[in-house]
């Protein structure tokens, strides 16, 4: 029995682990955990409080997959509903459809009684407005004087754009769990890349790209540059590598190597390292796990009978791209 999650999923892991121990099936446990992250206004990459798209509107993507039944579903570009993973779970339970987007996803959520609200918090709005003001000299917005910038906003930009290349704009939560009978399930939820084009859909709601689960092999989910997972069907490919006998870490690192080799040169540094980052979280039905990262230090979360702890992700490249 085990739960794993991306670095930002502590509340989710605690909840999912507690539920799993009391006999809740892995998928329900994982989604209950993800719901807590979607509720957190300070987690600006997921659910309520997510950073909006280019037009200032929060659009959410999420999916669930159950490795026991091999069923799953996703919702994409969903507005005004803070729990997209729960909407995706309903879609899986109530229909034979696998993906709903935009207005259709919202209508489905509405039909299921999900509350509608403005997901844009005041802080996320101020971050977006600052981005509009600084991004170009060619538009109507004047760049604010450095000493007039709100400290909360300045801190967010420093964290996401002031650090190493590739850290900008990203964030998502992924959680996976397996029980003692070898049933495995996972979910991924995100507000996607900050300031994305309206209607842009990333990897998170797409089965096989942002997540995949199969009791016969294992599960994989991802954070980071979603387009790389969409182009490489990363989560599905990792699960197939597990099926072929690779360990979780071998499968994850082999996938990152394949992605790096296939990344267009204009997205890489001179040494061939992608400037974007990508993280894969892998779990097997017998409870072996790994977190891997394209580059740079990062941790992921693990909960099992030994407790809840942070473990280091294994990097493909020791050094960050230049
Ligand atoms: N993978 C997500 C997306 O591309 C975002 C992220 O994890 O940073 O939408």
Q: For domain 2-118+168-317, say whether CATH 3.60.20.30 is its number.
A: yes
Distance 106 CA to ligand 1 centre (A): 21
Q: Pairing mode, if any, of strands 314-317 and 289-295?
A: parallel
Residues within a 6 A CB radius of ligand 1: 170-172, 190, 192-193, 202-204, 223-224, 226
Q: Whose CA is nearest to atom 4 of ligand 1?
A: 226
Please state the atom number of ligand 1 nearest to the C-alpha of residue 61. 9
- 269 C-alpha vs ligand 1 centroid, how far in Å? 21
- Please give the Cα distance from 141 to 225 (Å, whole number): 29
* DSSP structure string for 190-256: E--STTPPTT---STTSBTTTEEEETTTEEEEEEE-HHHHHHHTHHHHHHHHHHTT--HHHHHHHHH
- Residue 161 has a pLDDT of 80
Domain boundaries, the chain: 2-118+168-317
Name residues of the chain where pLDDT drops below 70. Answer: 163-170
Of 3, 27, 19, which Cα lies nearest the Cα of 213? 27
Note the pLDDT of residue 20. Answer: 98
282 and 238 in contact (C-beta within 8 Å)?
yes
State residue 168's pLDDT score: 58
Which of 5, 170, 195 has most ligand 1 atoms within 8 Å of its beta carbon, as the pocket-test mutant?
170
User: Tokens standing for 281?
Assistant: 């979280």
Assess whether 190 carries a catalytic annotation.
no
Per-residue pLDDT tens over the stretch 135-189: 888 999 999 988 889 998 998 988 888 755 444 566 899 999 999 999 999 999 9
pLDDT of residue 163: 57
In this predicted model, what pLDDT tens digit does every residue of 286-312 receive, in sequence order? 999 999 999 988 999 999 999 999 999
Looking at the CA of residue 192, tell me the nearest atom of ligand 1: 9
The pLDDT of residue 220 is: 99
Please tell me the predicted confidence (pLDDT) of residue 158: 86
Question: What per-residue confidence (pLDDT) applies to 166?
Answer: 44
Considering only CA atoms, which residue is closest to atom 5 of ligand 1?
192
Task: Using the mean position of ligand 1's atoms as its centre, give its distance from the Cα of residue 103 in Å.
Answer: 21
Q: Is the pTM of this model over 0.85?
A: yes
Q: What residue owns the CA closest to ligand 1's atom 1?
A: 226
């Amino acid at each position: 029995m085990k739960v794993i999650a991306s670095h930002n999923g502590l509340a989710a892991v605690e909840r999912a682990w507690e539920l799993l121990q009391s006999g809740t099936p892995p998928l329900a446990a994982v989604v209950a955990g993800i719901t807590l992250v979607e509720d957190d206004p300070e987690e600006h990459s997921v659910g309520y409080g997510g950073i909006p798209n280019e037009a200032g509107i929060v659009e959410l993507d999420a999916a669930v997959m159950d490795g026991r039944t091999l069923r799953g579903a996703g919702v994409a570009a969903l507005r005004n509903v803070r729990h997209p993973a729960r909407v995706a779970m309903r879609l899986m339970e109530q229909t034979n459809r696998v993906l709903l987007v935009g207005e259709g996803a919202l209508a489905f959520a509405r039909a299921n009684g999900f509350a509608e609200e403005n997901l844009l918090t005041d802080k996320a709005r101020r971050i977006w407005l600052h981005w509009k003001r600084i991004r170009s000299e060619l538009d109507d917005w004047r760049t604010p004087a450095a000493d007039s910038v709100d400290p909360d906003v300045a801190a967010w930009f420093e964290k996401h754009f002031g650090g190493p290349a590739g850290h900008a704009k990203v964030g998502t939560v992924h959680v996976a769990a397996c029980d003692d009978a070898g049933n495995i399930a996972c979910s991924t939820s995100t507000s996607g890349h900050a300031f994305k084009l309206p209607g842009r859909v990333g990897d998170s709601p797409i089965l096989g790209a942002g997540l995949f689960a199969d009791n016969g092999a294992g599960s994989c989910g991802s954070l980071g540059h979603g387009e790389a997972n969409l182009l490489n069907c990363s989560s599905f490919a990792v699960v197939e590598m597990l099926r072929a006998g690779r360990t979780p870490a071998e499968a994850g690192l082999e996938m990152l190597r394949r992605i790096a080799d296939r990344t267009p040169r204009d997205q890489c540094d001179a040494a061939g390292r992608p400037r974007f980052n990508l993280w894969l979280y892998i779990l097997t039905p017998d409870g072996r796990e790994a977190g891997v990262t394209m580059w740079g230090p990062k941790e992921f979360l693990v909960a099992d009978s030994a407790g809840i702890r942070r473990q280091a992700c294994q990097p493909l490249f020791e050094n960050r791209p230049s």
